[in-house]
Amino acid sequence: METRKVQFTGNSTFTISLPKDWIDKMGIRRGDVVGLLRDERGTITITPSIDSRKDYRSKTINLQKETPSHIERMLIGTYVMGFDTIIVRAKDRIDNAIKEKVRQFTRSVTGVEIVEETINSITIKDLSDPMELSQEKGVRRLHLIVRSMAVDAMEALQSRDQSLAVDVINRDSDADRIYWIIMKEHNMMTSDLRLAERLKMTIEESNSYFQIARYLERIGDHAVQIARSVTAISEFDIPRELLSKFKAAHEYSLKMLDGSLTAYFKGNAEDANEVIDRRDGLKNVLRDISISIQKIKAEEAVQLALIEESIRRIAYYATDISEVTINYCMLTEK
């Protein structure tokens, strides 16, 4: 950290000097206007321009020996880090499998399109606007999606509905899409405070939304795991008593999830603590489930144990959300 002495000039003006190397790097000249961004902690950030237009960023992925799956992960990583233009380039010709994976990527995220394609390069543009979907709306939407997935996954188990289980698995892409948007906006805000000012949000608030979205996305993954287990034991006759125990435990975990989100949006640390305290109430039900599973032959027992663990993880992620709520309440409490 550099320090500057505050000078008093005139009758009421305080001034500080700015580092010359920063002035030169930013291309600032005499008479130019700079922006001052103030946060709730009293910190002032100086930006080289108060222009609210977007600074466009480009990333080139040079293909070497990456598999299509590797490229998919790299594309998602580039997208969530807030790059506006992504160029996939090869020395010679891009393999058809890579091309198809790039097209799948553009269909799986919001606001992204292929704008140019040649033999050895594909150019992708992110045309979305962060103002279109706030992180708050994104988290609320993600909660509804993953909750619906979890409810339908348990219904598929109870009714042995294979088509419903497959539908839950397919909906995971909807949850991922919203999660990636929230992650992208958070990363963009941490690198450009002007965006945070436009969205009227602090970095701390954005970080809490991002953490909650991450836990919700993982809850969606566990809904998918329950659905996959349903498809794996489609022919197995699960005892009715065990199904009832699964249903009770699952409903308990979803009540915890709903309570944690309600506590966050109300900004109520007391309610968040109550959600965490309720976690112990699930242990006895899950213990009974575990004992029942031990009486079942190994092949089906493995899948039933995975369902039990997914229910447990949903409840634990609900408590993680409550902990985020408490942390944020302590930060913002006046």
pLDDT given for residue 191 in this prediction: 77
- At residue 52, does pLDDT exceed 50? no
Find residue 317's DSSP bridge partners.
none
What is the pTM assigned to this prediction?
Answer: 0.81
* CA–CA dist 107, 112 (Å, integer): 8
pLDDT given for residue 99 in this prediction: 93
pLDDT given for residue 41 in this prediction: 63
* CA–CA dist 139, 214 (Å, integer): 10
| Range 244-265 average pLDDT | 96
Instruction: Identify the CA nearest to 313 among candidates 282, 289, 287, 288.
Output: 282
* pLDDT tier for residue 307 given thresholds of 50, 70 and 90: very high
Burial of 245-260, coded b for 16+ CB within 10 Å and e otherwise, reads: bbeebbebbbebbebb
- At residue 209, does pLDDT exceed 60? yes
Question: For the chain, what percent of residues have pLDDT higher than 70?
Answer: 94
pLDDT given for residue 130 in this prediction: 72
Of 55-59, 76-80, 155-159, 216-220, the one with minimum mean pLDDT is 55-59
7 φ, ψ to 5°? -110, 150
| Range 31-54 average pLDDT | 66
- At residue 55, does pLDDT exceed 70? no
Of 7-21, 79-93, 256-270, 294-308, the one with minimum mean pLDDT is 7-21
pLDDT given for residue 49 in this prediction: 61
pLDDT given for residue 6 in this prediction: 85
pLDDT given for residue 202 in this prediction: 85
Pairing of strands 7-9, 13-15: antiparallel
* CA–CA dist 276, 219 (Å, integer): 16
Specify which of 30-34, 43-47, 146-150, 293-297 reaches the highest per-range mean pLDDT.
Answer: 146-150
| Range 190-206 average pLDDT | 80
* CA–CA dist 217, 175 (Å, integer): 6
* CA–CA dist 112, 106 (Å, integer): 5
Task: Note whether 249 and 309 are within 8 A (CB).
Answer: no
Sign of CA dihedral 236, 281, 325, 136: positive
30 φ, ψ to 5°? -55, 130
